[in-house]
Amino acid sequence: MAATTIPGKHVDIRMWTRPETVEEQAMRQLQNIAALPWTFKHVAVMPDVHYGKGATVGSVIAMRDAVSPAAVGVDIGCGMTAVRTSLDAADLPADLRRLRAELERAVPVGFGQHRATAFTDRDARDWDTFWRGFEDLTPAVKANSAKALHQMGTLGGGNHFIEICLDTAGHVWVMLHSGSRGIGNLLAQHHIEVARGLAHNESLPDPDLSVFLANTAEMKAYRHDLFWAQDYARRNRSVMLRLICDVLRKQFPQVTFEQPISAHHNYVAEETHFGEEVLVTRKGAIRAGRGDMGIIPGSMGTGSYIVRGLGNPDSFESASHGAGRRMSRNKARKQFTAEDLASQTAGVECRKDNGVVDEIPAAYKDIDEVIRNQEDLVEIVAKLKQVVCVKG
């Protein structure tokens, strides 16, 4: 669909969804973002848009000489990885419970962590250099070095997941969704509070949109910690993918894997748009430059998409990060039961208990409609449907 333009105080808002479908809280957030003097050109709003802390989930914000840590969110570097395997649907057993159990044993979920380090020299060659960078992070997180070490290669909870999927041709895919775990959250919370205390942010309409300004010590410190956390998130997914592939190799010795697709969807990047160098914050959005491969998941009982970016400049070369929630977690817990969850995830080997009712498919928007709304942002490469889903 063509984007709809809504006037804003400083810049306009361009939306790849019908404005009447956006809840009032989220629209108010978008207007606050559009009123910031540092916001560049316009605010790009993806079709999975919904209310979030600080900035709206599904928003793409370009700024000149400034960045808002809350516009990134507390799960710095959260994103997706997917890889197509050589397996076909016929290779999978009829009962997938053992496969799910093996995945859950290999990758700690929820608050779980590894007893020993999970990464090896198979994952990357520069682990020592990366971990030495921990010493240069803000002193506020120094007591968490052991936790950060043992959470590397773990899933977490909430909407994070590991899935075994089938595409429409019957090929088996691995897909996972996770971020920078506890260390990313601590770094984000620290810098959000620092930004709120700066004098130039005192008169903002929403203190959560406080920014760091270019050429300041606070901006330098945030950018350092931010990029380290984004690297942590990327490595975290890489280690998990290796652990998952090891599980598949044990059960299916003949399996091979294609080149993984990996993309952040809560992050900051230095990019050039409309002829200017800007800092682009994607919160619940993926980069969709021309030819960029991306992943747009649905919920734990619906389909997901592998996509290729079309490089639309009006979206700052971006697309949605998923289906997007249509109701809060609290509302979902009140409205649905474990029986509803079991019904809506029929045919998927996954948890079907009260602990994950807030992740029920009905709590999310229609992924097919979300994809249709961004036909000028991405093209479909493959449509996937999960047969195994691991949740924290």
pLDDT of residue 355: 94
Out of 150, 191, 264, 321, pick the active-site residue.
Answer: 321
**373 a known binding residue?**
no
**86 a known binding residue?**
no
Cα distance from N-terminal residue to C-terminal residue, the chain: 35
pLDDT of residue 197: 95
Residue 65's CB: how many other CB atoms inside 10 A?
Answer: 16
- Residues in Cβ contact with 113 at an 8 Å cutoff, skipping those fewer than 6 apart: 147, 150, 151, 154
**220 a known binding residue?**
no
**200 a known binding residue?**
no
**177 a known binding residue?**
yes
Q: Which amino acid is at 313?
A: P
Q: Crossing angle, helix 181-196 and helix 217-251, to 10 degrees?
A: 160
Per-residue pLDDT of the chain (392 residues; tens, 9 = 90+): 789 999 999 999 999 999 999 999 999 999 999 999 999 999 999 999 999 987 899 999 999 999 999 999 999 999 999 999 999 999 999 999 999 999 999 999 999 999 988 887 777 778 989 999 999 999 999 999 999 999 999 999 999 999 999 999 999 999 999 999 999 999 999 999 999 999 999 989 889 899 999 999 999 999 999 999 999 999 999 999 999 999 999 999 999 999 999 999 999 999 999 999 999 999 999 999 999 999 999 999 899 999 999 999 999 999 999 999 999 999 999 999 999 999 999 999 999 999 999 999 999 999 999 999 999 999 999 999 999 999 98
**130 a known binding residue?**
no
> Rounded to an integer, what distance in angstroms lies between the CA atom of residue 15 and that of residue 373?
10
Which pairs from 31-36 meet CB under 8 Å and 24+ separation?
Answer: 32/204, 32/205, 32/206, 32/209, 33/59, 33/61, 33/71, 33/209, 34/8, 34/9, 34/10, 35/8, 35/9, 35/10, 35/205, 36/10, 36/63, 36/68, 36/204, 36/209, 36/211
- Is 321 a residue of the active site? yes
**262 a known binding residue?**
no
**265 a known binding residue?**
yes
Task: Tell me the pairing of strands 79-88 and 171-178.
Answer: antiparallel
**201 a known binding residue?**
no
> Rounded to an integer, what distance in angstroms lies between the CA atom of residue 14 and that of residue 6?
6
Q: In order of start, what are the domains of the chain with their CATH numbers?
A: 4-326+364-391 (3.90.1860.10)
